[in-house]
Amino acid sequence: MKANWAEKALEDVCSIDYGTRIVRKHSVGTEYPVYGGGNETFRAGHYNRTDTVVVARFAMSEECTRFVKGQFFLNDSGLTVAPLQEDLLTCDYVNAWLLASNVQIFALGRGTAQRNLDVPAFRRMTFRFPTSIDEQRRIVAKLDAISAQVAAATENRKAKALALKAARSALLQQLCMEPPPGAAANEVWPLVALQEITTLFTDGDWIESKDQASDGVRLLQTGNVGSGAFLDRRSKARFISDETFGRLRCTEVLTGDCLISRLPDPVGRACLVPESDSRMITAVDCTIVRFDATRITPEYFVYYSGSYSYQLSVDALTTGATRSRISRKNLGGIPVPLPPLDEQRRIVAKLDEATAAIDSLESGVDAAAQELDALTASALSSLLAAGT
């Protein structure tokens, strides 16, 4: 052990305090967020913790420790740790140690269906700390500085990605709604009802739970329809048998078809269906669109479906007090600006280029965030392990 450092069982130098049971229906007030072992669950009118790290007791995720800023209510799904003697340990140092020990704490989880913290083992964890309060504060200050640098770098990259997205939205609106430079002054793109430029415009099939199978024909759902992108979600895939497909006279979804979700969020979002290793159908709340190739390219429409003009048209025809939706009839009447096919392809090429730039920057944001997180964790571990 390095000089001026001590090593104790966590419970010998810290109090380990559970939160208090609270349920939403009995909660009064909304001023303070309620936390357990994860994110905010609801709000309450009183608080029992301030500016501290919460450790998950039940249903542990890999992020089983997190710092919660400000006043909040901690329920009994989480616990906090505080120094028994403030002249021996600072709260900030204890919090820093907990965050640095996230992996080791997660490893103390027990159970398969639900991972719960082995609290006795947690209490016995080896806790190393400098005996000097000033040294504890120096370590925490250094970690705070690193964290601030990480946050600033991450926010900078996010801001650049958002600026690019805003620029793409403006470009999309301009390209889809306005003729290119050099066009005649009075030239405008004709507006055509969506259904008029399709060879197939129909809703998916009504598939009940009793009709589903473990494999066979894949059932695509509204959750697979992203805004401009297909969301595979293979682990949640549902199927029906070939026999059921025939018995219910289902409409097959083909590669390259466009799916439009008539439910949120947002209503009217669209994507193209990629190649699949199985036949496909879709649920009744999705509209299957097969475009007339002599009039419109599917890629052009999917880009247009992300425009402000399209969303305004959809919103104007959306109904439902508790759950918004658009009927297939109303969806079919949505006006679509229709440039010549060559112009559609030019628009798609420009938007592909802008999208690639955004994707590249967002990948850089994710990679940088992972790299900075790793750097922070390394610095955290190095500083807190200095006593070994």
191-249 pLDDT, tens digit each: 999 999 999 999 999 999 999 998 999 999 999 999 999 999 988 899 999 999 999 99
- Comparing 335 with 323, which gets the higher pLDDT? 335
- Mean pLDDT of the region 28-45: 90
List the structure tokens of 278.
């199985």
% of the chain beyond a pLDDT of 70: 89
Give the pLDDT score at 148.
81
Tell which wins on pLDDT, 87 or 354: 87
Section 293-318 average pLDDT: 93
Q: How confident is the model at residue 302 (pLDDT cuts 50, 70, 90)?
A: very high
How deeply is 2 buried, as exposed, middle or buried, from its count of CB atoms within 10 A (0-12, 13-18, 19+)?
exposed
Alpha carbons 63 and 102: distance in angstroms, whole number? 7
Torsion angle (degrees, nearest 10) of CA 375, 376, 380, 382: 10
Say what the pLDDT of residue 56 is.
96
pLDDT higher at 38 or 181: 38
DSSP per-residue string spanning 149-201: HHHHHHHHHHHHHHHHHHHHHHHHHHHHHSPPTTS-TT--PPEEEGGGGEEEE
Sequence-separated (6 or more) residues with CB below 8 Å from residue 55: 37, 64, 65, 78, 79, 80, 81, 98, 105, 117, 122
Q: Which residue has the higher pLDDT, 99 or 51?
A: 51
